[in-house]
Amino acid sequence: EAVSVSLPTAVVDWIETKVDTGKEVHT
């Protein structure tokens, strides 16, 4: 499973934050 994790945790967290922000924009 660790092999699939190629992105740093900070990058993954940043992407998830951008996705959450994009979803909340409609709200």
3-state secondary structure of 16: helix
Residue boundaries of the structural domains of the chain: 1-27
Average of per-residue pLDDT values in the chain: 76
Which pair of tokens denotes residue 27? 């709200």
pLDDT at 27: 56
- Taking CA atoms, 21 is separated from 1, 7, 12, 16, in Å, by 27, 20, 14, 8
The model's pLDDT over 1-27, given as tens digits with 9 standing for 90+, comes to 555 666 788 888 898 988 888 777 655
pTM: 0.45
